[in-house]
DNA sequence: GGCGGTTACGTAAGGCGTAAGAATT
DNA sequence: AATTCTTACGCCTTACGTAACCGCC
């Protein structure tokens, strides 16, 4: 196999079309350069240059090989540069877990941040429920997860990412939707209510339960569901009202009115990121730093 | 700069995750392999492997570098293979000139033949009138031209490519178009006729002139034009009738009827290829051979 | 004759293998 | 104690530079 020195030598000669000048450019004398090119030609198995005493010209094979040689040399330089940038986290891959609910909210923020600030970091996206994310993080199948609290635990580190308000989800023809003022949590007392599932959507179940307890209201739960978009579908068809994270606005579902709601606290819904404490992926560290400062900046 | 041997060594170790086995695979002992990897890491400027006495693991930087290393090695092999195939003409570039008229006829045949039989030959297409092609062929700006005869001359070689019939081009409501039988050249006697330009389309002008002379008919020339599609446009608007190469059918122009015509010879329109006799482009030689045998096969 | 490439030859260095070393299970 | 990577050392091959050589404007 030829070496990269052979290739740089060949490119120099091909560009200068003059062994002497090429040798000077390579800071060597020309006899060894001649030998190198001969060796390269022997190795490749084809004449690359046509020497006619006074002039040097590329053969057709030489032209083809020159293009490849340039690409190989460029790739080689890039390879070293890329590798050097890995420990700083600028280059690499992060496997990111997210739940269905984050897909249309904070995930966009993460993607935009990575595109702008860590353009050489590849994100591999995996939609997974929170429990599966915990296992995958610990197993090393996932680098980072976008999850609802609480996600602490042995071996896992977490950091808050964002808080968001709850909004009331009302059928378009509901009296609270038609009323001029925004609904209050107390308006839901005794109201048919599409509730989160305590098992599969424990976080939202607890946030809402606490809000109702604090306000001393008791909606009438008509269904328990895990996913925001399913809840909204039932609200639309008039089975009841609900409270969903504000990001649900981005779903753009028609037939459901989403309105600010008072009495449930400012921004009760929390989102955090979680990762294995011993994960040594530098790109993960860089991404965690990036998201941490983005969260701090608001 | 690291060498390709460094890369093969690294790939072997990265795949085996064991210096001893990797060394065996490279048919060497492991001490020099260790040194090579150390030198490579020093060169790249980053730790690629994590040696923990009992196990060898890739670092994140190592994973990134491994992908690049594999690509570089593959490219290097391919480069040699490609270059070796150039003298046989299997790999390379042919700059091909063609006239507007061949664009919708024989050019397609050439493109299909190259795609099927010389898939690694790149074609660079240039539309040029015949005189410009002659100059470009001699100047080395063109490797091969698709031209009308006669294109011989000092330094140029030619070979016939194809013959094709002439068809009558008639306005849709013309009496010859409505008649049950195909027109004969004698039907054009005294008929308003859209003729080729003797200067810019000399070949067609002469083919038609000879056909008319042989049949002793004298159409009434109403226009002289260079390009088939312009002629057809005038025919469509009723300025006259014309005779065009059968390939014009592929233009799919509506409002013009193209019908077989008798009395003008079987396939009077010839197409040939021309190239500079001293052109040493092996891909050109391969293409000429290919087209020659395709023409012989019909 | 001189420019521009190749061949010949002596020398220096880089890299191999063998052997010894160190650390971990 | 055994395994496995690293360091030490002697030798050989590879490849440089200098010098001589050859062929064509």
pLDDT tens digits, one per residue of B53-96 = 678 889 889 999 999 999 999 999 999 999 999 999 999 999 99
Question: Per-residue pLDDT for A213 more than 90?
Answer: yes
Alpha-carbon distances, residue A152 vs A130, A149, A156, A163, B119 (angstroms): 12, 8, 6, 18, 58
Question: Per-residue pLDDT for A53 more than 80?
Answer: no
Closest CA to A76 of A130, A147, A160, A11: A11
Q: Are A185 and A217 in contact (CB under 8 A)?
A: yes
CB contact under 8 A, A65 and B76: no
Question: Per-residue pLDDT for A298 more than 80?
Answer: no
Please tell me which residue lies nearest to nucleotide C24, judged from CA to C1': B53
Q: Cα B15 vs. chain centroid, distance in angstroms?
A: 43
Average pLDDT over residues A200-226: 92
Chain B's closest residue to A68, CA to CA, is B79
Average pLDDT over residues A256-273: 92
For residue B47, the tally of other CB atoms under 10 A from its CB is 16
CA of B99 to C1' of D22 (A): 50
B219/A contact by beta carbon, under 8 A = no
Give the best residue of B83, B283, B287 to mutate against chain A (max A CB count within 10 A).
B83
Alpha helices in B26-129 (DSSP H): 30-44, 60-85, 100-103, 106-117
Question: Per-residue pLDDT for B104 more than 80?
Answer: no
pLDDT tens digits, one per residue of A56-91 = 889 889 999 999 999 999 999 999 999 999 999 999
> What confidence score (pLDDT) does residue A240 get?
94
What is the nearest CA distance from A122 to chain B, expressed in angstroms? 11
Q: What is the CATH code of the structural domain delimited by B166-265?
A: 3.40.190.10
Which bases of chain C are contacted by protein, using any atom under 7 A from a CB?
Answer: 4-8, 15-20, 23-25
Listing DSSP states for B103-147 in one string gives HTTHHHHHHHHHHHH-TTEEEEEEE--HHHHHHHHHHTS-SEEEE
Cβ neighbors of A84 (< 8 A, separation 6 or more) are B44, B45, B46, B61
Q: What percent of chain A has pLDDT over 70?
A: 99
For residue B115, the tally of other CB atoms under 10 A from its CB is 11
Helix, coil or strand: residue B6: helix
B122/A contact by beta carbon, under 8 A = no
> What confidence score (pLDDT) does residue A218 get?
94
Nucleotide with smallest C1' distance to residue A6 CA:
D15
Calpha distance B293→B298 (Å, rounded) = 8
Cβ neighbors of A80 (< 8 A, separation 6 or more) are B2, B43, B44, B45, B65
Q: Which CATH class is domain A4-86?
A: mainly alpha
Burial B78-97 (b: 16+ CB within 10 A, else e): ebbebbbbbbebbbbbbbbb
Please tell me which residue lies nearest to nucleotide D23, judged from CA to C1': A53
Question: Per-residue pLDDT for A103 more than 80?
Answer: no
For residue A152, the tally of other CB atoms under 10 A from its CB is 11
Quick one: DSSP state of residue B96?
E
Instruction: Give the mean pLDDT of chain B.
Output: 91
CB contact under 8 A, B44 and A68: no
Q: How many residues are recorded in chain B?
A: 298
CB contact under 8 A, B46 and A76: no
> What confidence score (pLDDT) does residue A297 get?
82
Helix, coil or strand: residue B57: strand
Quick one: DSSP state of residue B264?
S
CB contact under 8 A, B2 and A76: yes
Nucleic strand D under 7 Å from the C-beta of A53: yes
CB contact under 8 A, A5 and B1: yes
Helix-helix angle A282-297:B60-85, to 10 degrees = 120
Question: Per-residue pLDDT for B298 more than 90?
Answer: no
Nearest to B4 among A3, A48, A71 (CB): A3
Average pLDDT over residues A261-276: 92
Listing DSSP states for B165-217 in one string gives -EEEEEETT-HHHHSSSPPBGGGGTT-EEEEEPTTTTHHHHHHHHHHHHHHT-
Calpha distance A78→A83 (Å, rounded) = 8
What is the nearest CA distance from B291 to chain A, expressed in angstroms? 21
Q: Are A193 and A219 in contact (CB under 8 A)?
A: yes
B75/A contact by beta carbon, under 8 A = yes
Nucleic strand D under 7 Å from the C-beta of A20: no
Nearest to B46 among A4, A71, A87 (CB): A87
Domain boundaries, chain A: 4-86, 89-162+270-297, 166-265
Alpha-carbon distances, residue B156 vs B139, B145, B269 (angstroms): 11, 11, 21
Please tell me which residue lies nearest to nucleotide D7, judged from CA to C1': B31
CB contact under 8 A, A92 and B64: yes
Please tell me which residue lies nearest to nucleotide D19, judged from CA to C1': A31
Average pLDDT over residues A93-120: 89
Q: How many CB contacts within 8 angstroms connect chain A with chain B?
A: 121
Calpha distance B16→B36 (Å, rounded) = 16
> What confidence score (pLDDT) does residue B227 get?
87
Quick one: DSSP state of residue B240?
-
Sorting pLDDT into bands at 50, 70 and 90, what band is B273?
very high
Which of A105 and A39 is assigned the larger pLDDT? A39
pLDDT tens digits, one per residue of B235-263 = 999 999 999 999 898 888 889 999 999 99
CA of A128 to C1' of C14 (A): 54
pLDDT tens digits, one per residue of A184-203 = 999 999 999 999 999 888 88
Question: Per-residue pLDDT for A107 more than 80?
Answer: yes
Classify domain B89-162+270-297 at the CATH topology level. Answer: D-Maltodextrin-Binding Protein; domain 2 (3.40.190)
Nearest to B86 among A8, A60, A280 (CB): A60
Calpha distance B178→A105 (Å, rounded) = 69
Chain B's closest residue to A78, CA to CA, is B68
pLDDT tens digits, one per residue of B143-183 = 999 998 888 788 899 999 999 999 999 999 999 999 989 99
Sheet holding A156-164, edge to edge: A121-127, A92-98, A144-147, A269-276, A156-164
User: Where does residue B177 rank: exposed (0-12), middle (13-18), buried (19+ CB within 10 A)?
Assistant: middle
* HEC letters along chain A: CCCHHHHHHHHHHHHHCCHHHHHHHCCCCHHHHHHHHHHHHHHHCCCCEEEECCEEEECHHHHHHHHHHHHHHHHHHHHHHHHHHCCCCCCEEEEEEECHHHHCCHHHHHHHHHHHHCCCEEEEEEECCHHHHHHHHHHCCCCEEEECCCCCECCEEEEEEEEECEEEEEECCCHHHHCCCCCEHHHHCCCEEEEECCCCCHHHHHHHHHHHHHHCCCCEEEEEECCHHHHHHHHHCCCCEEEEEHHHHHHCCCCEEEEECECCCCCCEEEEEEEECCCCCHHHHHHHHHHHHHHHHC
Nearest to B86 among A64, A84, A86 (CB): A64
Question: Per-residue pLDDT for A217 more than 90?
Answer: yes
Nucleotide with smallest C1' distance to residue B29 CA:
C17
CA of A13 to C1' of C2 (A): 22
Two structure tokens written together for B228:
């088939």
Quick one: DSSP state of residue B260?
E
pLDDT tens digits, one per residue of B6-64 = 999 999 999 989 988 899 888 998 899 998 899 899 989 898 998 876 788 898 899 99
Which of B52 and A35 is assigned the larger pLDDT? A35
Chain B residues within 8 A of A8 when measuring between CB atoms: 1
Chain A's closest residue to B40, CA to CA, is A80
Q: How many residues are recorded in chain A?
A: 298
Cβ neighbors of B110 (< 8 A, separation 6 or more) are B96, B123, B146, B291
Q: Are A244 and A235 in contact (CB under 8 A)?
A: no
Question: Per-residue pLDDT for B206 more than 80?
Answer: yes
Do A166-265 and A4-86 fall under one CATH topology? no
Nucleic strand D under 7 Å from the C-beta of A28: yes
Helix, coil or strand: residue B59: coil
Query: Which bin fits A168, alpha (ψ -120 to 50), beta or left (φ > 0)?
Result: beta
Nearest to A44 among B3, B59, B84 (CB): B84
Average pLDDT over residues A204-230: 92
């Amino acid at each position: 196999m030829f070496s990269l020195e052979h290739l740089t030598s060949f490119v120099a000669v091909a560009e200068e079309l003059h062994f002497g000048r090429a040798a000077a450019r390579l800071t060597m004398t020309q006899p060894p350069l001649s030998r190198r090119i001969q060796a390269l030609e022997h190795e490749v198995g084809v004449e690359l240059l046509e020497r006619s005493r006074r002039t040097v010209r590329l053969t057709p094979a030489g032209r083809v090989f020159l293009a490849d040689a340039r690409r190989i040399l460029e790739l080689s330089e890039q390879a070293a540069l890329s590798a050097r940038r890995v420990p700083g986290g600028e280059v690499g891959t992060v496997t990111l877990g997210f739940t269905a609910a984050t897909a249309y909210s904070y995930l966009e923020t993460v993607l935009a941040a990575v595109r702008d600030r860590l353009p050489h970091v590849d994100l591999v996206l995996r939609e997974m429920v929170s429990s599966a994310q915990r296992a995958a993080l610990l197993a090393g199948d996932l680098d980072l997860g976008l999850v609802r609290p609480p996600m602490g635990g042995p071996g896992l580190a977490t950091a808050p990412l964002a808080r968001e308000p709850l909004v009331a989800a009302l059928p378009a023809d509901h009296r609270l939707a038609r009323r001029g003022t925004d609904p209050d949590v107390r308006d839901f007392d005794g109201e048919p209510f599409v509730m989160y599932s305590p098992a599969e959507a424990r976080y939202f179940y607890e946030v809402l339960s606490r809000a109702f307890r604090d306000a001393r209201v008791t909606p009438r739960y008509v269904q328990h569901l895990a996913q925001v978009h399913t809840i909204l579908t039932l609200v639309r068809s008039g089975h009841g009202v609900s409270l969903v994270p504000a990001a649900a606005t981005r779903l753009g579902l028609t037939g459901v009115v989403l309105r600010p709601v008072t009495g449930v606290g400012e921004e009760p819904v929390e989102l955090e990121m979680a990762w294995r404490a011993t994960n040594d992926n530098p790109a993960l560290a860089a991404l965690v730093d990036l998201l941490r400062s983005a969260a701090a900046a608001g």
